[in-house]
């Protein structure tokens, strides 16, 4: 069975997000005032296993070893059937 794991990687609180500031600025130029704007990346990963728990553990390892930078990123993992 394939379990799809949704990994959301975002910047930790307090980290500067220049891309978000640039987007906020561009939106403001188009006339859209925003109170806040933050960005995140999502990876939907299909893992061949029967256990959602195992899939989540594997996804956390992927984050720690490749996808996220522990100094600046935090991540959330959610298993979809």
Beta carbon nearer to a second copy, 14 or 36:
36
Q: Bridge-partner residues for 6, per DSSP?
A: 44, 78
Shortest Å distance, C-beta 54 to a second copy: 12
Q: Cα dist. 52→7, 8, 59, 72, 75 in Å?
A: 13, 17, 10, 27, 17
Size of the site for a second copy (CB under 8 A): 32
- Residues 40 and 46: their CA atoms lie apart, in Å, by 20
- Out of 12, 15, 21, 39, the only residue in the binding site for a second copy (CB under 8 A) is 39
**Residues 49 to 68 in contact with a second copy, rule: CB under 8 A:** 58, 61-62, 65-67
Residues of this chain that bind a second copy (CB under 8 A) = 2, 4, 8, 10, 20, 23, 26-27, 30, 32-48, 58, 61-62, 65-67
């Amino acid at each position: 069975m394939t379990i799809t794991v949704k990994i959301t990687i975002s910047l930790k609180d307090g980290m500067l997000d220049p891309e978000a500031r640039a987007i906020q600025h561009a939106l403001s130029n188009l006339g859209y005032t925003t109170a806040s704007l933050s960005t995140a990346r999502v990876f939907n990963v299909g893992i061949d296993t029967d256990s959602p728990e195992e899939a989540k553990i594997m996804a956390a390892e992927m984050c720690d070893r490749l996808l996220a930078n522990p100094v600046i990123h935090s991540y959330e993992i959610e298993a979809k059937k």
